Amino acid sequence: MEFYTLKQIAEKLGKDPSGVRKYIKNNCPHIEWKTQRDQNGQKCFVFSSEDVHSILATRELQGYRIDEDKQAKPITDEVGLFYIIQLHPVDMPEVIKLGFTSDLTSRVTNHKTCCPELKVIKVFPSKRYWEKTSIDYLAKSLGLKNKGGEVFLCNDLDTLINITDQFFSILNKD
């Protein structure tokens, strides 16, 4: 089994290892922490490739983008779907994720690595560059509490769906 050090994960994310360590502890409680000695004999944290995939999927689920070149991607006219997802519909139905994807099947598959029971509530035709404005508008309109990235607490899912329907019906007018 291949293992990756905390430093390697931090480098992939373009972040400081101490910040990544805190992020994993706070956001990925299911991850198993292992230690081994590096080439200099120092103890270091290591993670399996499955755990690394889960950590990266959790970050993406929270709205963080992972780009190989660590550069911001340009805004495009890419067409796809804006989605409302319940991350834990049984245990925490108020926890939702709002976002854009050009491949819903792939996005849901990735998110299910850390939220296996997630439920897609509704999708809307969208352009990538509408994503941030859409999320900001919906969060402010409903007073959603941001839990990090694109994850929010929503106590009135029906109202969120209705407002999102109205919002995207205006954006999608010809």
Reported as a pLDDT band with limits 50, 70 and 90, residue 72 is: very low
Tokens matching residue 84: 């409302």
The listed range with the strongest mean pLDDT (18-27, 61-70, 118-127) is: 118-127
3-state secondary structure of 19: helix
Q: Where are the domains of the chain?
A: 3-61, 79-171
Task: Please report the pLDDT score of residue 65 as a whole number.
Answer: 64
**pLDDT tens-place string over residues 106-163:** 888 888 888 889 999 999 999 988 998 999 999 999 999 998 889 999 999 999 999 9
Residue 92 is given by DSSP the state E
3-state secondary structure of 154: coil
User: Given the DSSP bridges, would you call strands 43-48 and 119-127 parallel, antiparallel or unpaired?
Assistant: unpaired
Contacts of 84 (CB under 8 A, 6+ apart): 96, 97, 98, 120, 121, 122, 123, 157, 160, 161, 164
Task: Please report the pLDDT score of residue 73 as a whole number.
Answer: 45
The pTM of the full predicted model, rounded to 2 decimals, is: 0.60
Pick among 3.30.465.10, 1.10.1660.10, 3.30.70.270, 2.60.40.3880: CATH of 3-61: 1.10.1660.10
- Neighbour count for residue 129 (Cβ, 10 Å): 14
